[in-house]
Homo-oligomer: A and B are copies of this chain.
Amino acid sequence: MIRPLRATQENVASGFDNPYLSFYLSIVMYQPAALDLAFQALADPSRRAMVDRLALGPASVSELAKPLAMSLPGVMQHLAVLEASGLVISEKVGRTRTCRIEPKAFNQAEQWIAERRALWERRFDRLGAFLEETKDED
């Protein structure tokens, strides 16, 4: 009764270029929700403006709110999205909530893009080398 395994192997054989298979499956199967939340958080200009401010150093919620044409509850809502994504952490001391960047989540998002870019740049390099070789043969 090895049918499910064979079916998978057949799918795999018909579906992919083999050299990339293990790499490809590993990234398709490992899709952490953390990246969903990080990219989602960065998809809003107000939240990116808050990140811009926090990149310069920790800030209170009212400092974050100041340049945004937005109510404090609105800012709190955006802050909640940033905190849920792990990009920002905040701490309340007395009556002031201070927010700061959490670099780890940014690194993960940046690395995700950088790794894909490395793949297609390598491919373009190989294509360039191939064209160069072909030119020499002429």
Contact = CB atoms under 8 A, between A and B. Distances in A.
A63 B11 CA distance: 12
Specify how many copies of this chain sit in the oligomer.
Answer: 2
A30 B17 CA distance: 42
Interface in A33-55: 33, 35-37, 39-40, 42-45, 48-49, 51-55
Interface string A5-40: 000000100011100100011011001010111011
B103 A110 contact: no
Chain A interface residue bracket vs B: 35 or more
Interface in A93-113: 101, 103, 106-107, 109-110, 112-113
Of A25, A35, A52, A114, the most chain B CB neighbours within 10 A belong to A52
